[in-house]
A and B are shown apart, each in its own frame.
Chain A
Amino acid sequence: MTSRLLPVFVFATLMAVIPFVPGVPPFWIVLLDNIGLAALVAMGLVLLTGVGGLTSFGQAAFCGFGAYTTAVLTTTYGLSPWLTLPLSLLVAGAAAVLLGLITMRLSGHYLPLGTIAWGISLFYLFGKLEFLGRNDGISGIPPLSIGSWKMLDPGSIYFPIWIAVIACAVLSMNLLDSRTGRAIRALRRGHVAAEAFGVQTARAKLLVFIYAAVLAGLSGWLYAHFQRAANPTPFGPHLGIEYLFIAVVGGAGYVWGGVLGAAVVIILKEVLQSYLPLIFGGSGQLETIVFGILLVALLQLAPTGMWPWLTALLPQGDSRRRPAPADALPTRAESAPADGVLLQVENARKQFGGVVAVNNVSFAVKSREIVALIGPNGAGKSTTFNLITGVLQATAGSVTVRGESVSGAPPQEVVKLGVARTFQHVKLVPDMTVLENVALGAHLRGRAGAIASMLRLDRADEARLLAEAARQIERVGLGDQMNQLAGSLSLGQQRIVEIARALCVDPMLLLLDEPAAGLRHMEKQQLAALLRQLREGGMSVLLVEHDMGFVMNLADRIVVLDFGTKIAEGTPAEIKTNADVIKAYLGAAA
């Protein structure tokens, strides 16, 4: 029993004992059943919304898919409920693939609105279809049974529900703590950084959406056999909203936040429904008023939910823990090309409407070379970086890496050729540790998929990735900050973390966008020493930098851009005396 699973084991034991405690009112068990059912859906939302940053109001509809699938198959076709379980999950998952392909590409606010729309549309559809019993739904669904033991009462279905909740929580925790999990967690901060390290963001989004839908489908399947009836009401837009509410109350970023949120919300609703009429004596839905007001108050007081607030009270583990040593990852098999030219930019041009950001720029980077790209603000340096790494597509001209054209290639393909980069505006996931952020850089060097991660079959692979990440963090000198959250570091240190992340790619060419900005003098010297050491190791570096002292001492060659056009290229000594460069920086000589 690892220390990670010990609290889960304690919780599971506690839940297993509750029904046998004498004097527990049967009503409590019903409440716990409902909490478990809601927790399953909320847990999916935690991964989808809290972790992945994709808001869905439509989860209740996926419960509907799960519930109706088993309802139809067990009543009309007489299938055994256990046989319909995989089918229910399959139908929910298939619906998620279909809806996900349509809606997951939507960014920002379109996504939640899109999910509201199909959530409502499916709700009405459930209520209109003849074979789903229209608004009356389907009744007479057989109970779950093992042998002759039929789970007819709330006390017996309690066990399958909570076994499902705890199993899914463990699977979800495993998933988040893995290579795939890091990719999902990086989604919330936008896709450019994740794609730069080879994450197929569209696929990762779809994956987490399907996962959330399957959890909701499981909840629906259990619900159908718990109520032994299915009608459209519990799968409507209001429930979809409530599930999201549960996730936010509990703590949308935490797997157990879903369970906590479900408990708090369902118990609170019950209490409000029983006591509010006693206090105010009125009729009507007083509980929704109090409920809504409490929700707004909670968001103002604790926008991250209750789970982090609870865990903050607990003692923290040792934060100086290092990942266990593991075999080194295999390094890149290819060697430098024969002609020594690693990167060739030929007449690259990028126009944004009428603005020419990069105007027919050509230059090359050879192996074991540090090339600096300098120029005043707005000269097109970062745009050039984006053209090389596939974030932007050139309007004309070509970019070749080791003789292979990368024109039109997405960032995920460029990084496979051994080109790794950092960003001018740091793109780390602030609520992931430095180690986890850096391990994202090694994404393409791991193999384990989502299912293997959930079942914890990825440990050897994962240990190698983390050991590599730790090695690169030590290399850049941030070993003591390894387990701190990336967001807690100074901006200069965050830039260094980005370099470590890029090194995890095992690159042949490192693209650094203003790596020295925000560093102190000593740190700049350490960075220069590191880059020289990388060059000695056979790596090439292309960097954009404004600190001329740093550039002049470090670079082998300098390319100068001004207004998108290359105005000079040469050794630092040549550039220092170049009249055009002086003019660009200081204006025309008087």
Chain B
Amino acid sequence: MNTTILLFLLQDGITNGAIYALLGLALVLVFAVTRVILIPQGEFITFGALTYASLSAGQMPGTIKLAVAMGIVAFAFDLFTFRRALHAKRVLRSVAVNIIVPLAIWGVMLALSGRPANIAVNITLSLLIVAAIGLYLYRIAYQPIAHTSVLVLLIASVGCHLALQGFGLVFFGAEGQRGPAISSDAITIGALRFTGQSIAVYGITIALIVGLWLFFGYTLYGKALRATAVNRLGARLAGIRTTLSGQIAFLLASVIGAISGILIVPITTLYYDTGFLIGLKGFVAAIIGGLVSYPLTAAAAILVGCVEAFSSFYASNYKEVIVFTLILPVLVLRSLAAPAVEEEKD
């Protein structure tokens, strides 16, 4: 192997690793706050990427209809929850969040359709749609069972994953799609060529990590989320609305998923079910990071990306085997380093 190949592989690994880092962060975030292991994260990626690709191709993506429909169901769930005390303020808030927002996005899309696509507008619309889906997904699928065990939440995640992946196939078909790059510029340093896209990947990843760090460290909502993560009951007693914490966590996770998707879709062709595998690699990073530490997760994600890049060069047949087996030595080390502690379950 020569240095050029080494550098190319490293670059490839770091670019992919940055994406996995984003996904890993979102998974850690959602797990810490809601105890949900977010398997549908993969669908947020696909929905974000393919919505953006469809919009760029001048098509109307089906995801907006899903967002509207889920909003209506979420509104119905809200009404059912409020049925004993139907205050106008609560109901109006619910109407605004669940009905007006998705309809407004749809309206903008209809108004814009037919005009030449603007990348920034398309990205914004894609993010908004996926964010809405993420929010309503929490309201519909998880909020009613938020108090149950991690296992029940995990199985619910599987259900959401299956349903959303099925919708993905209906909306986007079985063929893969690619989206336009955010920037077509490129700079060359030595033997390496950095495309605008890969620079965007690095920049956005770093910005999001710093943003999350600031959010959790220095804002009231961030602290409320951390409090919910540590102790739900305690947080509620302190006046934190734990359902709101869950909603914020899902909102952030879906936006991060969608951003990851939009960042990858110009680099690789995405299919309706690609997100699952990409999301799982984020999982590997999150698990290596112990589902608690953001910096460790980010570092682990880079490692996963690099291992993937190198194994696809040396043993491409066994690429997935190697990446997913990577987790085992880490888990062994973890279990040796920290003997299992007693936890009150159920």
Contact = CB atoms under 8 A, between A and B. Distances in A.
A46 to B, nearest CB: 13
Contacts of A49: 151
A284 B164 CA distance: 13
B78 to A, nearest CB: 15
A275 to B, nearest CB: 16
B36 to A, nearest CB: 10
A167 interface: no
Interface string B159-176: 111111111011000000
B155 A248 contact: yes
A292 B287 contact: no
Given A105-B335, A191-B340, A291 B283 contact: no
B291 A107 contact: no
Contacts of A288: 162-163, 165-166
A263 interface: no
A117 B318 CA distance: 14
29 contacts: A55-B151, A55-B154, A102-B331, A107-B340, A108-B343, A108-B345, A109-B154, A113-B327, A114-B328, A117-B284, A118-B327, A124-B321, A124-B324, A125-B321, A188-B346, A189-B345, A190-B344, A192-B342, A241-B158, A245-B159, A284-B169, A291-B162, A291-B163, A292-B160, A293-B163, A295-B158, A299-B148, A299-B155, A303-B152
Given A55-B154, A107-B343, A120 B317 contact: no
A300 B35 CA distance: 16
B99 interface: no
Given A105-B340, A296-B159, A296-B163, A303 B145 contact: yes
A286 interface: yes
A107 B341 contact: yes
A286 B165 CA distance: 10
Contact of B158 (A120, A188, A191, A245): A245
A113 B37 contact: yes
A29 B303 CA distance: 50
A416 B317 CA distance: 53
B164 A292 contact: yes
A218 B219 CA distance: 55
A292 to B, nearest CB: 3
A116 B280 contact: yes
A53 interface: yes
Given A124-B324, A191-B342, A114 B156 contact: no
Contacts of B335: 105-106, 110
Contact of B324 (A55, A118, A128, A287): A118
Interface residues of B, number: 51
Interface in A520-555: none
Contacts of A287: 166
Given A189-B345, A295-B162, A106 B340 contact: yes
A40 B68 CA distance: 42
B31 interface: yes
Given A106-B340, A114-B287, A299 B163 contact: no
A464 to B, nearest CB: 31
Given A191-B342, A291-B163, A295-B162, A244 B328 contact: no
Given A121-B320, A300-B144, 7 more contacts: A108-B345, A120-B324, A128-B317, A128-B318, A245-B155, A295-B159, A296-B141
A191 B283 CA distance: 27
B85 interface: no
Contacts of B161: 292
Contacts of A295: 155-156, 158-159, 162
A24 to B, nearest CB: 31
A380 B54 CA distance: 64
A289 interface: yes
B324 A117 contact: yes
Contacts of B150: 108-109
B37 A109 contact: yes
A290 B320 CA distance: 30
Interface string B52-91: 0000000000000000000000000000000000000000
Interface string A95-107: 0000000110111
Contacts, number: 153
A112 interface: yes
Interface in A245-294: 245, 248, 282, 284-294
B325 interface: yes
A195 to B, nearest CB: 10
B31 to A, nearest CB: 7
B334 interface: yes
B162 A117 contact: no
Interface majority SS (helix, strand, loop, mixed), chain A: helix
Interface string B289-311: 00100000000000000000000
Nearest to A201: B340
B334 A300 contact: no
Nearest to A49: B151
Nearest to B174: A284
B332 interface: yes
A288 B161 CA distance: 9
Interface in A105-153: 105-110, 112-114, 116-118, 120-121, 124-125, 128
Interface in A469-503: none
A457 to B, nearest CB: 33
Contacts of A106: 331, 334-335, 340
Given A103-B331, A117-B284, A288-B162, A112 B154 contact: yes
Nearest to B155: A248
Nearest to B326: A117
A244 B150 CA distance: 14
Given A105-B335, A288-B162, A190 B151 contact: no
B40 to A, nearest CB: 9
Contact of A102 (B158, B287, B332): B332
Given A107-B343, A188-B345, A188-B346, A244 B170 contact: no
A352 to B, nearest CB: 13
Contact of A113 (B141, B159, B283): B283
Nearest to B159: A295
Greatest chain A CB density within 10 A among B141, B151, B335, B344 is at B151
A303 B154 contact: no
Shortest Cβ-Cβ A-B pairs, 10 listed:
A292-B163, A295-B159, A292-B162, A289-B166, A121-B324, A288-B166, A107-B340, A117-B327, A124-B320, A296-B159
Nearest to A297: B159
A292 B344 contact: no
Interface in B156-199: 156, 158-167, 169-170
A117 B166 contact: no
A284 B321 contact: no
Interface string A420-441: 0000010000000000000000
Nearest to B315: A128
A112 B150 CA distance: 10
Contact of B170 (A102, A189, A289, A303): A289
B342 A190 contact: yes
B310 to A, nearest CB: 17
Nearest to B336: A105
Contacts of B156: 295-296, 299
B158 A244 contact: yes
B166 A284 contact: yes
Contacts of A121: 320-321, 323-325
Contact of A120 (B154, B280, B342, B344): B280
A404 B145 CA distance: 50
A118 B325 contact: yes
B133 to A, nearest CB: 14
Interface in A284-335: 284-296, 299-300, 303
A290 B308 CA distance: 35
Interface string A357-379: 00000000000000000000000
A113 B330 CA distance: 12
Nearest to B332: A102
Given A118-B328, A128-B321, A299-B152, A285 B166 contact: yes
B295 to A, nearest CB: 19
